[in-house]
Amino acid sequence: MLLALLTLLLSACGTLPPTAPQPASTAQPARDDGELAAIAKASTPPGGLSGFRLLPLGPYALDARLQLIRRAQHSLDLQYYVIADDATGRLLLRSLRDAAARGVRVRLLVDDLYTAHTDAMLRALADQPNVEVRLFNPFCCLRGSTLGRFAGSLGDLHRVNHRMHNKLLIADGLFAVAGGRNIGDEYFMLDMSSNFVDMDSLVAGALIAQLQHIFDQYWNSEVVYPVQAIVAAAVPAAQAMAEFERLSPVEHAPPELPPVDALGYGPVGEDLDAGRVGLIWASARAFTDPPNKRDKMSPEEAREMSVSKEVRMQIWAAEHELVITSPYLIPGPLGIGAFEQLLRRQVHTVVLTNSLAATDEPLVHTGYARYRPQLLAYGVELYELSPERTRRSMRLGVFGSSFGRLHAKTAVVDRRTVFIGSMNLDPRSDTQNTELGIFVDSPALAKELLRIVNISKLQSAYRVRMDAYGQLQWLTMDGDTETVLTEEPETSPWLRLHNLLVSPFVPEQLL
């Protein structure tokens, strides 16, 4: 029976349909007319620098995106790993539809891994005037579920395992939002069960042209297909607008924004209304992987050309202090060697990652847990996010009955160089996913990011250490009271047993 099932699945394996070469499409240069142009001019000092405002609070990060979309008058370019079929995803897609109706050119690039429930909505959106939707590295067939897609691609797993993990929105070639957040309720404090602690930045100035070039590089790549070539239309083109309305119902308005965030900033929309945005200005560079990363490459070759290598080289070059946040932390032998070198150079190293209770990927946690004793032995100051403590803190959002999970991918080197991006410190970022990251040379921005990390590690996390017998301990401080735990906190015995049993059988390169 198993052989018959395998034969059936293999017979269902298909190939992508042939498509005519797509005409090259490039970002529109910034223009002098329009609301965002006037705001950018009033906000930008001379000198060719780039401006940044951190967005640690989920509702503020959503509002920043929606404000830019609603005020854009010429162009909107977006690329995301996930746009969920939930209230947030539908709100963003509706906002893009409304922008296109105003005459704004909309280009939307979505990774195809999680589009099983949004295929029809993306196709209906693409049938609107002024809108183009493309899919990164799409699956050929059996598109009704993620499992079905992989079953239909058994002969093509090397290709479909290559995903676009980038997150980027650019409005009128003048402002952008980049960082770690996908588009879904749980990234903006709107999910009832769990929400992510994450980090984005509003960006302006000189870096925008580089981000536009990066977007064009992906948009025009041979691994990107128009959604019309992959997803059949559910209705005739004349009915596409009504179909999109049906598929993207408005459930509720975005929540009311708190007056200030953890850094003391108000919502970006208030600054835009005032005609001038307060930003930190500095020199900056953006890094990305080539869209065809892993195409006919070995993992070693992909790692050598990966943006992860560039990022790691810069953060491992720390001379005095290195502070890292990474939700999925699997350093591997090379990473562990780098942590050992940091110890030898007496670099104070701090790492914040997810606890087993906080992670949404328990199997990935097994890969991290293998390296935890070595990290501690090499002097790493190690913190793991606590869902319960994050809920009680409320400094980085009101979680209500939901619990918090870390999703921010950041680093601060020597209190002056800041990294914000989509890259995790794990094998997938090295060899499988494409990533996007930004380095900023700014002590002022570093100070703000360290403030956010300190809120998490001191108020929302456990500090991990080893006792005199080499056993792990998890410490918390509530006022003057120290609590010491001797097993993975906030987890069930079944979850701990499950991870203990499966850990030896999970290849690290698959995590």
For residue 240 the two structure tokens come to 């596409």
Angle at 465 between CA 493 and CA 327, to 5 degrees: 70
Q: How far apart are CA 325 and CA 320, in angstroms?
A: 17
Rg (alpha carbons) of the chain, rounded to whole number? 23
- 244-to-108, 125, 318, 379 alpha-carbon distances in Å: 15, 6, 50, 54
**Beta-bridge mates of residue 170:** 77, 176
Q: Give the residue carrying structure tokens 């590089």.
A: 217
How far, in whole angstroms, is CA 434 from its chain's centroid? 11
Active site residue 74: no
Q: Is 348 assigned a catalytic role? A: no
Give rounded-to-5 percent helix, strand, coil for the chain.
40, 25, 40
CA atoms of 195 and 199, how far apart (whole Å) = 13
Distances (CA, A) of 20 to 23, 108, 215, 222, 476: 9, 19, 21, 11, 59
Read off the tokens for 471. 């056993």
97: its two tokens: 């539809």
Which one from 74, 162, 167, 457 is the annotated catalytic residue?
A: 167
409 included as an active-site residue: yes
Please tell me which residue in 74, 162, 293, 409 is annotated as part of the active site.
409
Q: Which of 74, 162, 165, 365 is catalytic?
A: 165
3-class state of residue 137 by DSSP:
coil
Return d(Cα 250, Cα 48) in angstroms, integer. Answer: 41
Quote the tokens at residue 288. Answer: 């990305």
Select which of 172, 185, 191, 261 is catalytic.
Answer: 172
Specify whether the CB–CB gap between 174 and 443 falls below 8 A. no
- Indicate which residue of 74, 162, 407, 457 is catalytic: 407
Query: Comparing C-alpha atoms, which of 60, 70, 73 is closest to residue 173?
Result: 73
Strand pairing class (403-406; 175-179): unpaired
Query: Measured in whole angstroms, how far is the alpha carbon of residue 4 from the centre of its chain?
Result: 40
Active site residue 167: yes
Give me the catalytic one of 216, 414, 447, 498. Answer: 414
- State the catalytic residues: 165, 167, 172, 407, 409, 414
